[in-house]
Copies of this chain bind each other. A is one copy, B any other.
Amino acid sequence: MEKNWYSSPLSLRDIQITDAFWKGEMELVRREVLPYQWAALNDEVEGAAPSFCMRNFKVAGKLNQEKREKGDAFVEPAYTFRGFEALPEDPEHLEDKFYGFVFQDSDFSKWIEAVGYSLTQHPDEELERIADGAIDLVCAAQQEDGYLDTYYIINGRDKTFSNLRDHHELYCFGHLTEGAVAYYQATGKDKLLNAVRRFADYIGNYFGSEEGKCKGYPGHEIAEMALVRLYEVTKEERYLTLARFFVDERGKRPYYFDSEQHPDMQRRGQKEELRYQYNQAHLPVREQDEAVGHAVRAVYLYSGMADVARLTGDEALYGACEKLWNSIVNEKMYVTGGIGGTHIGEAFSFPYDLPNDTAYAETCASIGLVFFARRMLEIRPDARYANVMERALYNGVLSGMALDGKSFFYVNPLEVNPEACRRDERKFHVKPVRQKWFGCACCPPNLARLLSSIGSYAYTESEDTLFVHLYMGGILSKKVQGQDVDVCVESGFPWDGNVKIKVRAQNTSFRLALRLPDWCSGYEASGLEDAQTEERDGYLYVKKEWQEEDCIELSFPMEVKLIAANPRVREDVGKVAVTRGPIVYCLEEADNGKDLHMLSLGAGSKPTVVEEKICGIPAKTIEMPGYRREAKEMAGLYHTWRADHKKVVGLRFIPYYMWANRSENEMQVWTRME
């Protein structure tokens, strides 16, 4: 690994995102999601299932009015492995017990992380005050020894770390750490960070390679990358060591999870080969070469692996990351950047199995793919990673949130027939309309933290290079050779491909690396006259002594393209997806009538790009002539085939991420070619 390539994200305090497109998304998060989420954490959302999150912290910290009952038997939460919601019988009469999912603490953590990012882009004293109060409450629950997970504090510390596979204890720790680091980096306040360090030290005393320490690792990964962040902010080597331990230990035989008492495994006699694929713990991570199991867990693990590989210069680990990356993007990724072909285990299916109507493609999994992509970019700036990051962001991630920021998809299918969602149990996981909030609140807060920190995905820097991976408007301030440099980016993305990069510097020499998107074959550039330029791995490297008013202009042609899938993808054979620039388009019933599968495109169809608004949001739609099967074929089930039963119709494609904002209806990404 060429270490001189390594880059890292800029501090969000040094980036101000001004982009019309992304600023709009960030504002939705700030104005809609964060307040809603805070209310949800406090069980104050009318009609919504209570979260119990902050309540659990109060109970754990004995901050609630009533005295906690003593000597309770260990209470299993009303929680099952597949993730059902926990509700007390009578919400009016809650006892001093833990309620909700076993991972309920993480709701707070995701919220505080998003709040931290948001404060860097939009200071807000009132929000910061609320956040500080919440942190006080959380810290009050921390135990003398540093332990801080309300589920076990309330239910009995003797069971601590007894069910790593299912009980998300290290997952909660990971999220808490990410939240604490983000809040510290945003505000400089270290109360939560210090609490997390104590918790991390507690964990580090319990787990590790040293004799006598527990050889377990998280059932749901995230602690790996969280510990790396903690290391990067504290410079304490032991956190990196612990992260590496979790990565290294994973999947070794005999399986650690076998040493836990899992009734389901006992029923199955623990005989199944590679039985922890769901948790990516079936093989040592360096031997894994196919992305398998729960998709969110997978990409969280791979992100942590990439982090550890970068910081330890571990070639073998990086090699595994590369193989797993290729497994995803060459065999297991939807054209939208969605991942997870099956709802069974919310998991990757086998290679090329990418069904459109039963897709899982969880919002969180696409978010995790973005995490993984940026970490691969940090190791090696190759546009392969950034192209996928962009694909996921503009499509499979953004589709998770309604245009008004008030409802959310967990599952992002590429084809929806609402009748099937209601009547076919195999599609019950697919919702034809976004939902208000979820009992298991992972996707909305995950969106909140990603969108609020979007700038850290657009830009990374190495010693001598500023990388622009995504084109979004913003102002970056950086120190180069002790001098202040401002870089101001203006972009029409994703609706047009024009980008202006203005640099304000004083004869400062450094490189800009500008990504050349894979969706256009050429580009135009100006302002490069007195620069050294080089194209490599999908980036245009521009080196010069930058002056006061330097400006580079780039223009990436955004043509409408018909995309075909590898013919091994059975579901897409003979079909095309319509794209323009980074945006994947879809047909929706609202524009094209019912029975979208009866529509098709011809080879010579000329597209027209239309500038308009959808639900008040500016967008570009695509109109194209196509065909519709005619109704005279409708009687009976089977008849002799005839070629001529179709009529010419106008088709209207809208951006995929904007679907399901105009009431429940059919949607389809892949359309048949005649």
**Could you list which residues of chain A lie within 8 angstroms of chain B, going by C-beta atoms?**
329-331, 333, 335, 342, 344-345, 349-350, 353, 358, 417, 419-420, 423-426, 561-570, 573-574, 576-577, 595, 597-598, 600, 603, 629, 633-643, 672-673
Q: Complex formed: what's the CA distance from A349 to B565 in Å?
A: 29
**B565 touching A333, Cβ below 8 Å:** no
Given A574-B672, A629-B567: A330 and B426 interface contact (C-beta under 8 Å): no
Hey, which chain B residues are within 8 Å of A331, CB to CB? Answer: 637
Q: Complex formed: what's the CA distance from A188 to B79 in Å?
A: 62
Q: Please name the residue on chain B nearest to A577 by beta carbon.
A: B638
**A564 touching B424, Cβ below 8 Å:** no
Within the complex, the shortest CB–CB distance from A251 to chain B, in Å, comes to 20
**A573 touching B629, Cβ below 8 Å:** yes
**B574 touching A574, Cβ below 8 Å:** yes
Q: Which of B349, B353, B424, B642 contacts A349 (CB 8 A)?
A: B424
Given A353-B424, A573-B672: A566 and B636 interface contact (C-beta under 8 Å): yes
**A417 touching B570, Cβ below 8 Å:** yes
**A564 touching B639, Cβ below 8 Å:** yes
**A566 touching B637, Cβ below 8 Å:** yes
**A350 touching B634, Cβ below 8 Å:** no
**A598 touching B567, Cβ below 8 Å:** yes
Secondary structure at the A interface, as helix, strand, loop or mixed, is mixed
**A426 touching B641, Cβ below 8 Å:** no
Hey, which chain B residues are within 8 Å of A426, CB to CB? Answer: 342, 344, 358, 426
**A673 touching B641, Cβ below 8 Å:** yes
**B424 touching A342, Cβ below 8 Å:** yes
Hey, which chain B residues are within 8 Å of A643, CB to CB? Answer: 603, 673
**B641 touching A576, Cβ below 8 Å:** yes
Hey, which chain B residues are within 8 Å of A419, CB to CB? Answer: 350
**A600 touching B629, Cβ below 8 Å:** no
Within the complex, the shortest CB–CB distance from A195 to chain B, in Å, comes to 41
Hey, which chain B residues are within 8 Å of A423, CB to CB? Answer: 349-350, 353
Q: Complex formed: what's the CA distance from A637 to B634 in Å?
A: 35
Q: List, sorted by A's number, 16 A–B pairs whose CB atoms are closer than 8 Å.
A: A329-B637, A330-B637, A335-B638, A344-B425, A344-B426, A563-B638, A563-B639, A564-B633, A564-B641, A564-B642, A565-B637, A566-B633, A566-B636, A567-B598, A568-B634, A577-B638
**B573 touching A640, Cβ below 8 Å:** no
**A640 touching B562, Cβ below 8 Å:** yes
Q: Complex formed: what's the CA distance from A633 to B565 in Å?
A: 8
**A330 touching B640, Cβ below 8 Å:** no
Q: Please name the residue on chain B nearest to A640 by beta carbon.
A: B561
Q: Which of B333, B345, B424, B600 contacts A574 (CB 8 A)?
A: B600
Hey, which chain B residues are within 8 Å of A330, CB to CB? Answer: 636-637
Hey, which chain B residues are within 8 Å of A342, CB to CB? Answer: 424-426
Q: Complex formed: what's the CA distance from A272 to B329 in Å?
A: 43
Within the complex, the shortest CB–CB distance from A640 to chain B, in Å, comes to 6
Q: Complex formed: what's the CA distance from A568 to B638 in Å?
A: 11
**B641 touching A566, Cβ below 8 Å:** no
Q: Please name the residue on chain B nearest to A561 by beta carbon.
A: B640
Q: Please name the residue on chain B nearest to A597 by beta carbon.
A: B570
Q: Complex formed: what's the CA distance from A139 to B1 in Å?
A: 81
Hey, which chain B residues are within 8 Å of A564, CB to CB? Answer: 633, 638-642
Within the complex, the shortest CB–CB distance from A385 to chain B, in Å, comes to 15
Within the complex, the shortest CB–CB distance from A498 to chain B, in Å, comes to 22
Hey, which chain B residues are within 8 Å of A567, CB to CB? Answer: 595, 597-598, 629, 633-634
